[in-house]
Structure 1
C-alpha cells in the first residue's frame, strides 16, 4: 500500500468525474442514493455508530479532493465521522424529503462526500428509512452492495456486543488508483485504442424515437418505470444461454438489443454497460469508484433466431470484455473528440445487470418503490437496470430522460420487453423480427380497428425454412452428436432429395415413406419430401419388413427415402442424392397434406391418420 503522508493521484475514472464537476458543480447526476437496512428497534445512536465504523473501515468515505500544481489529487483524512440527520416525516411526504436531500449535491473541494438521512414516520407502526447519499467519485454500484452488507453486520454486532465479522482489507481505493496509473501505460492505451477504432468504425448512434425534440444541452432529469421478470422466464432464459455458453447478462442483453432494433429499425445496435473493474485481487470488498464504461456493438439481423442472436451477442461481449481496461474517457477523447452537448458520448442507451440477489431493505417492496420514486436522474437517454430477486426472478426498471420521453411510452417499452422475453424464452428458434412484442390489449384494439380477419399464411413450412436459410445461410441449423449443420448445407441436401423424388414422380397428393435414423439426414429427408410437394410417412428404424410393406401399400407410397433397400419400392438415399442450390419449383399450399402417421390400430392392423 502507498504511504498516506500527502495527496495521492486520482484514478482515471475519478479524474473524469472531477472534470465533470468543474463544469457542473454540485450536480445531482453523480449522487447515488443507497437505502440501508434498519431493523426494528434500532435507534439513531446505534445507527450513527455503525455508519462511523464504515467511515473508519473505508478510506474512500473520508477522502477529500485538492488541486496541486493544477492537477487534482485525493487527500485521505486519518479519521472522520458521517453526518447523520434525523427527521420525523409522514409516509406520504417521504419521497419529497428524500428528493430534497439528494438535490443538495456535494462539494468536491470541501467534502465530506457521504451523508445519511434517517426518516422516521411518527404514526403508529410507522417505519424508518435510512438513505445514504454518496458521490460517485468515491462509490460505485458494487460499493453500494458492500456498504449494505457491512452496515447490517456492524449494526447487528453493536446490538449483541460482539466484534463485527468482516474480512480484512489488504488494499484501499488509493492503492488501486496508483496501481492503475502504473498498469495502463501509453503503449497499452495505443494498443487498446487500435482495437476500439476497428470495432466502432462506421457505427451509427441509436436513433430511438423520442416524444419531444432533443434539447440542445442534455437534460439529466429522469424517472424510472419498474418491471419484473418471473422466475420461470428468468430460468428459461438462463438455460438458453447456458446451452450456448452465454451468461444471463448476454441473454438478457440480447432481448434488450432486439427490442431496441425493433423500435429503431437499426439492427447494428450500439449501447453501453458498466464493468466492475475489480479484477485485481483484494478489491472485492473495497469501497471506491472502480467502475468503467464499456461500449458494446451488437451486429444483429432480423432473420436471426433468438438462440443464434444470443451466440452473436456472446461473441461481441467476450471481445469487448477482453478490452475493458481502457479508461472510457480516453476512448471518448480518441474516437469522439468533438463533444455533442445534447448527447452522452459514444452511446445513449445502456444496460446494467446486477446478478447478485437483492438484499436488505432494497428487497422490501415499499422501500424499493420509494427508491424508484426518488431516482430522477437519467445518465443516458434510456437505461435498463435489472437485479436478481431471492425467488429467482428479476426486478428492475427502465430509467429514462424525461426531457425526451413520456412515461406511457416507457411503460409500453417495459411491457414489450417483458413480452419479448416471454416469447423468446418459450421458443428460442423464433426470428428476432417475428417475436411477439404487442401486448394483448393493444392487439385487441388493432383487431377492433381493422374489422377484417387476418390474412392467411402465404408460406408453408418448407417456405418458412427457405426464408430462414436465405437470411442466415451460415448460421447453425442443426446440432447433432457428430457436429453442426448450417442452413445452407441443410437446404441444399433437402433440394437434392426433392429433385430426385420429383424425377421419380413425387408431387402433390403423393406420399413418400421416410426410414432414416435420427440425425441431420432425417431432417433433410423430411424437408426434401415437402420441397417435392409430397407428404411424408415416418417409419421407425427397426420396424418389421411386413409392417413397413403394409404401411407403404396402405398409404399408396411407391417411394421411400432410406439407406436400406426394400423390395417392391423405389428407394432414394439421403446421403447419395446430389446436393443442389436450385430449389424445385412448387406452389405454397398450407392446406396440403403434410404427413401420414400410423398408429397400432384397434384391430391389430396399423392405421394411418
Structure 2
C-alpha cells in the first residue's frame, strides 16, 4: 500500500503536487528528513570531529570597478531569506543521522562580516579561518559571508563559507547570479528544497527509480579494489588533506577537446580519459572505479533550488582498447552516457561488497570537472574571479579536479595525508599532466593534413 501511494504521488504533475502540499501544510512539515546525500554528510561530520571537510569555502575577487558593499550585503540577506535551505537548522544529535530532522525557520539571517583585505593571502586566510570555526547546526546561522574592501578602490572581496548540508556548487552559482542581478529586475522564484527532497523519495519508489537501482548495482558488481595507498586504510582517517596544483596550456586543453569531439563526446569525457590513464598506471590495472559529480538537478523545477543536490555517482572504466587516448575517450564517453540515463539515483544508495573505510562507503577516488564558472561574469561592473580554497582537508582518499578556462586548464589533486605521501601525489599529478600533453599531441597528429588519417 505504501509503495503504491508513493508511486502515485511521484506520478503527479508539479502543479498537482503544489496543490496537494497547500492542502496538507502540517503533513508537509512532519515528513521532512535528510536526503541520502545529507545523511552521508551528517555522518562524515561526526567522523571527522568538526574538521571542515564538507564545507564550501569560496573566495570571490572583484576587480576593475568600485563595488557597493552595502548593496551586496542587502542582496546576501535577501538571498538567505528567500531560500529555505539557508534558513534551515538540524534537530538531533545521533551520530548515524537517525532521527535528525531539518527545521526551516521563518528567519535566520546570515553572519555578515565587513573588513578590509590587503591582498589574496589575507583574504584566503580569513576564509579558511571562518571555515575551520565549527558550525552550530542546531541553531545556525549556517551561511557566513565576508565583504571586504581591497587594496584599491576598484577591488573588493566576497568570501563565502557554508556547510554542504545546505549548499553546493550550483547553489554558489545561484548566489553569484543574485549578486549580479540588474537593479531593475526581480529575483527569480525560490523553490523550496524540501519539495525537491520529497520528489526524490517518490521517484526512488517508481519504476524508473527501481530501474536506476538495477543499473548501478550492475555497474559496480565485482568492482576492483581501491587504489593503492602508502599506508593502510583499515582504521579509516580523520580526513586531513593537502593539494598539489597543476596548470596545462590552452594548446593541451584544445587538444583534449578536439579528441573528444572527434569521438562524438564531451570535454568531460576527454579529461576523464586522461584521469583514467593516470590512475590505471598508479593502480596497475585498467579496471578503475571512480566517483564523479553530477548536479542532481534534472528534476522539474530544481535548477533554481538552493541546497545540497549534488550527486556523487560511480563511473566504471574497464575496456581501454588499444590504450590510446582516443580509445579511452570513446570508452569514457560510452560509460558516461550510460550513467546519465540514471543520474538522478542517489549515489549513497548504491551498495556493493567493496567497502572503503572513510567518508564514503563505495568510493576512494573521485574526478571533478567543473566548468560552471567558465563564462565571464561581472558584479556591479567588476570582473569576478572565484577560487575554491584548500582547507587542509580531503573529502576522499584522492580527488582529481580539472577547471577549464580561456587560458587552458587548471586543477589540483587533493589527497588524504594520513594515507598518501606528498611524493606519491606529485607523481600522480606528473603522470596526469604528461598524459594530457601526449593526448593533445595525439589529437594533433590525427588532424587531416598533419600526417594522420582524415
TM-score (norm 2): 0.80
Which moved further from structure 2: 379-388 or 69-78?
69-78
Q: CA deviation at 1:103?
A: 0.8
Aligned length: 416
CA distance in 2, matches of 1:335, 1:209: 21
- Is the 8 Å Cα contact of residues 273 and 293 (structure 1) preserved in structure 2? yes
Structure 1 residues 429 and 50: CA distance shift in structure 2, 3 A = closer
| DSSP 3-state at the match of 2:101 | strand
CA distance in 1, matches of 2:194, 2:386: 33
Deviations 1:242-299, CA, capped at 9 Å, x for gaps: 2222111111101110011122211101111111111123222221111111111100
Q: CA deviation at 1:94?
A: 4.3
Unaligned stretches of 5+ residues in structure 1 = 431-477, 481-609
Q: CA deviation at 1:185?
A: 0.6
- Is the 8 Å Cα contact of residues 205 and 346 (structure 1) preserved in structure 2? no
| DSSP 3-state at the match of 1:223 | strand
Alignment of 1:417-496 (within 5 A): 417-428=432-443
Q: CA deviation at 1:22?
A: 4.9
- Is the 8 Å Cα contact of residues 61 and 155 (structure 2) preserved in structure 1? no
2:352 paired residue number: 335
Which of the residues 283, 301, 306 maps onto 1:264? Answer: 283
- Is the 8 Å Cα contact of residues 52 and 80 (structure 1) preserved in structure 2? no
Q: CA deviation at 1:350?
A: 0.7
Structure 1 residues 352 and 364: CA distance shift in structure 2, 3 A = farther
Q: CA deviation at 1:19?
A: 4.0
CA distance in 1, matches of 2:235, 2:49: 20
Which of the residues 386, 392, 407 maps onto 2:402? Answer: 386
Which of the residues 36, 56, 61 maps onto 1:32? Answer: 56
- Is the 8 Å Cα contact of residues 48 and 82 (structure 1) preserved in structure 2? no
Q: CA deviation at 1:214?
A: 4.5
Deviations 1:28-77, CA, capped at 9 Å, x for gaps: 11111122354554354333212112112322111122359963332222
2:179 paired residue number: 151
Alignment of 1:237-316 (within 5 A): 237-301=256-320, 303-316=322-335
CA distance in 2, matches of 1:264, 1:13: 28
| DSSP 3-state at the match of 1:28 | coil
CA distance in 2, matches of 1:140, 1:167: 18
Confirm or deny that 1:353 pairs with 2:378: no
Deviations 1:496-530, CA, capped at 9 Å, x for gaps: xxxxxxxxxxxxxxxxxxxxxxxxxxxxxxxxxxx
1:106 paired residue number: 135
1:184 paired residue number: 204
| DSSP 3-state at the match of 1:107 | coil
- Is the 8 Å Cα contact of residues 59 and 124 (structure 2) preserved in structure 1? no
1:397 paired residue number: 412
Structure 1 residues 152 and 8: CA distance shift in structure 2, 3 A = farther
Where relative contact order (Cα < 8 A, 6+ residues apart) is larger, the structure is 2
- Is the 8 Å Cα contact of residues 241 and 247 (structure 1) preserved in structure 2? yes
Which of the residues 163, 178, 184 maps onto 1:163? Answer: 184
- Is the 8 Å Cα contact of residues 244 and 311 (structure 1) preserved in structure 2? yes
Unaligned stretches of 5+ residues in structure 2 = 1-17, 446-451
Structure 1 residues 194 and 314: CA distance shift in structure 2, 3 A = same
- Is the 8 Å Cα contact of residues 117 and 130 (structure 1) preserved in structure 2? yes
| DSSP 3-state at the match of 2:335 | helix
CA distance in 2, matches of 1:376, 1:403: 12
1:9 paired residue number: 32
Structure 1 residues 302 and 187: CA distance shift in structure 2, 3 A = closer
Which of the residues 209, 219, 225 maps onto 1:199? Answer: 219
- Is the 8 Å Cα contact of residues 209 and 264 (structure 1) preserved in structure 2? no
Confirm or deny that 1:83 pairs with 2:98: no
Structure 1 residues 57 and 100: CA distance shift in structure 2, 3 A = same
| DSSP 3-state at the match of 1:163 | coil
CA distance in 1, matches of 2:93, 2:401: 38
Q: CA deviation at 1:399?
A: 1.5
| DSSP 3-state at the match of 1:208 | coil
1:376 paired residue number: 392
Q: Which has the larger radius of gyration?
A: 1
Deviations 1:381-406, CA, capped at 9 Å, x for gaps: 21111222134x22222122222334
Structure 1 residues 359 and 76: CA distance shift in structure 2, 3 A = farther
CA distance in 1, matches of 2:118, 2:444: 52
